[in-house]
Amino acid sequence: MAATLPKSERLCGKSVIAGLMDRGKGGACACLRYRFLRTEGADASRILVSVPKRNFKRAVRRNLLKRRIREAYRLQKQLLPQPVDVMFVYLSREILPFEDIYAAMTEVLTAIAAKTE
């Protein structure tokens, strides 16, 4: 299985996101807060990445962090045993290197995998 991130694996739609916020379980680690909801009958997991404008005023920096989070997820998405909808929110006030975000993503995905089984 190739480690890709097509558009079908992006979470979109107000009602879907509202359902994730209402019924989803959550947690936090190092630099990421996450909220997830197990999806029945879905083909693949879907993600939503958010970097608060309050912490990073410039769009270039927010987009850099979003790219790093998506790439860290893309490389490790096989850690999730079954399809889930996941929202990631970046918490840190500084731009962390990719290695730190990758390690935090590993921690988050293993926590989600443990909670969904």
- The full set of domain ranges for the chain reads 7-116
Report field, pTM of the whole predicted structure over 0.85: yes
Q: Would you say residue 1 has pLDDT above 70?
A: no
Query: pLDDT tens digits, residue range 61-110?
Result: 999 999 999 999 999 999 999 999 999 999 999 999 999 999 999 999 99
**Cβ-contact 69, 32 below 8 angstroms:** yes
Separation of alpha carbons 61 and 68, rounded Å: 11
- DSSP annotation of 10: B
- 2 pLDDT band, cuts 50/70/90, is low
What is 7-116's CATH topology? Ribosomal Protein S5; domain 2 (3.30.230)
What is the residue whose two structure tokens read 């480690």? 3
Query: pLDDT tens digits, residue range 8-20?
Result: 999 999 999 999 9
